[in-house]
């Protein structure tokens, strides 16, 4: 039976990237050594690192004056590294969900945090004032748990930092509007274990505080992400995923692909009387589609879960904090999988008219 992978992360990746990684685990670059055992200092892996950085810059059209580095620790470590390197006195954190809240909590260890937040997480804050004396403003572009997404590159008048863990490479991004972009790779890029950071070089080195060597971005820029042993396997898979993205139209191609999937699913959610969306329509994510049963059909949740499971769908259960259902429509997910989900929604409707 074909599987339809809607997991939020670790999540679906291009089959070509998975296959290339499998082969490299057997024999990396003709060395006769597994990728799992190869030296990261060897010319073969140094070539992988260099090509991955080059493709990052090419696909996202990253301007001169920015560095791309690969680190460990996940996006959660970046919650602390960002303020350690950038927060002198005050920063603004737009709290749009669980992960944004955690990022703001870490920043409070380093300085004042001005929080921007709606009463709930089912819409994005808008038309708020940004103190221009703040060191930076932090946003989380996509919120996997609640299903909102910031689909523009805003200009707040101060340096902009964004956690793009779950929507990087899903659409074109004007990197020049950002001081720093970071994210865990386990959504659209690679297996868990590597974190990407895109940072404007000129914003670094301005702190009075001493920064531990491993937590200083300059350390990793200087050493080309090899100050310590990098996560070799996820970086290799990231390179193969970047090749797939480029071959499929780059970020413009991904946006077209993702809009088609999101439009199909949201149209069925809005049409089908059994279901309803959970967030404001203008803020709907094209990566994380969250929905629930309408109140009079709540008793059918288990039936729908069983139906989708019987048709090979996995990862549809909503986050434990909000319940319902969540379909993650990451780049590598095919439109046919979304169609299968829509067909299941229609089938349930027909049974309970």
Q: How far apart are CA 175 and CA 67, in angstroms?
A: 11
- Per-residue burial over 306-328, b if 16 or more Cβ lie within 10 Å, else e, is ebbeebebebbbbbeebebbbbb
Predicted pLDDT of residue 28:
96
Determine the pLDDT at residue 319: 87
42 pLDDT tier (thresholds 50, 70, 90): confident
What domains sit in the chain, N to C, each tagged with a CATH number? 4-10+249-351 (3.90.1150.10), 15-247 (3.40.640.10)
Strand pairing report for 195-200 and 66-71: antiparallel
Q: Which residues contact 85 (CB under 8 A, 6 or more apart)?
A: 204, 207, 211, 215, 216, 217
Summarised one tens digit per residue, pLDDT across range 224-250 is 999 999 999 999 999 999 999 999 999
Reference 121, options 151, 90, 98; nearest CA is 98
DSSP code, position 69? E
pLDDT of residue 313: 97
pLDDT in tens, 183-222: 999 999 999 999 999 999 999 999 999 999 999 999 999 9
Query: Active site includes 99?
Result: yes
**Which residue among 135, 167, 187, 261 is the active-site one?**
187
Q: How confident is the model at residue 1 (pLDDT cuts 50, 70, 90)?
A: confident
Catalytic residue among 120, 133, 153, 163: 163
Separation of alpha carbons 87 and 107, rounded Å: 8
**Confidence check: pLDDT of 353 > 80:** no
Known catalytic residue: 244?
no
Which one of 26, 57, 90, 99 is the catalytic residue? 99
67 sits in which H/E element? strand 66-71
Active site (annotated) includes residue 163 = yes
d(CA 102, CA 82): 13
């Amino acid at each position: 039976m074909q599987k339809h992978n809607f997991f939020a992360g670790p999540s679906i990746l291009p089959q070509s990237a998975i296959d290339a990684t499998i082969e490299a685990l057997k024999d990396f670059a003709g060395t006769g050594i597994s990728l799992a055992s190869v030296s990261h200092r060897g010319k073969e892996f140094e070539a992988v690192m260099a090509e991955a950085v080059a493709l990052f810059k090419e696909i996202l059209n990253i301007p001169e004056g920015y560095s791309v580095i690969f680190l460990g620790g996940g996006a959660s470590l970046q919650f602390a590294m960002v303020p350690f390197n950038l927060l002198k006195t005050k920063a603004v954190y737009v709290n749009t969900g669980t992960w944004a809240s955690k990022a703001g909590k870490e920043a409070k260890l380093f300085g004042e945090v001005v929080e921007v937040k709606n009463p709930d997480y089912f819409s994005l804050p808008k038309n708020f004032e940004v103190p221009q004396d703040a060191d930076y403003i932090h946003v989380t572009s996509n919120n996997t748990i609640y299903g909102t997404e910031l689909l523009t590159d805003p200009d707040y008048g101060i340096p902009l930092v964004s956690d793009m863990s779950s929507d990087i490479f899903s659409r074109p991004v004007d990197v020049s509007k950002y001081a720093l972009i970071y994210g865990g790779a386990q959504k659209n890029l690679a297996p868990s274990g590597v974190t990407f950071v895109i940072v404007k070089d000129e914003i670094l080195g301005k702190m009075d505080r001493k920064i531990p060597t491993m937590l200083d971005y300059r350390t990793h820029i200087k050493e080309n992400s090899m100050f310590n042993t990098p996560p070799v396997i996820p970086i290799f898979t990231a390179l193969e995923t970047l090749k797939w993205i480029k071959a499929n139209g780059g970020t413009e191609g991904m946006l077209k692909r993702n809009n088609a999937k999101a439009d199909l699913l949201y149209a069925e959610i809005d049409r089908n009387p059994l279901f309803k969306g959970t967030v404001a329509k203008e803020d709907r994510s094209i990566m994380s589609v969250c929905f629930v049963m309408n109140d009079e059909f709540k008793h059918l949740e288990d039936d729908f879960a069983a139906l989708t499971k019987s048709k090979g769908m996995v990862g549809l259960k909503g986050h434990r904090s909000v319940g319902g259902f969540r379909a993650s429509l990451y780049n590598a997910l095919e439109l046919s999988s979304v169609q299968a989900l829509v067909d299941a929604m229609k089938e349930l409707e027909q049974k309970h008219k």
